[in-house]
Amino acid sequence: MGADVPGQHLQLLLDHQGALDHLPDGGCVINTASINGLRGNKSLIDYAASKGAVLALTYSLAQSFQDRGIRVNSVAPGPVWTPLIPSTFPAEKVEKFGQQVPMGRAAQPDEIAPSYVFFAAPQLSSYYSGEVLAPTGGETLPADPPEAKPVLTRWRTVTTPRTQATCGRPRSARTPRPAPESVAARHGWGWPGQPG
């Protein structure tokens, strides 16, 4: 991570403190985070960490500014087409940008804008503070990586060095109990190709 990331967060906090003098009671602050701050991203570690910090700042400021009735919320969008994408990504990544979300495409900025309007309008969001709207194209959290597959397992006894001795006799000397039949197996539920 770059040394400037903590400085950026300090600057964001100072900006909020400076804005507090100009915000009327009952005003609102809307931060911009990212889906990467909610779930992390192995390819964008510093970016994901900074956006996670924006979310923590949102939660903390919501508590801190509550005595003045100032609402603090955040929008954490998924992939969005902005000028930054084609100017910073290689062409092959630009071509596939946003295809990983269930809707199969990145959002246009005008599809994300209503989230900010919602938080800015007190008649719509007067009871919202410390909240995050995440327009992510159908991605849900926590999201499993695409290669993850659901697995049903049965109870089994696992012997480790820590569990060798229990009640004065080694665990291996106990009479083992048979593994209970899983609820899924009892009802015939499961996935095709799942063993017994």
Tokens representing 60 are 């903390």
Rounded Cα distance, 175 and 186, in Å: 25
Q: Are 152 and 182 in contact (CB under 8 A)?
A: yes
Rounded Cα distance, 13 and 60, in Å: 11
| Residue 185 backbone phi and psi in degrees, to 5 | -65, -40
Catalytic residue (choose from 47, 59, 116, 128): 47
47 catalytic, yes or no? Answer: yes
Tokens representing 14 are 């100072």
DSSP state of 179: P
Residues taking part in catalysis: 47
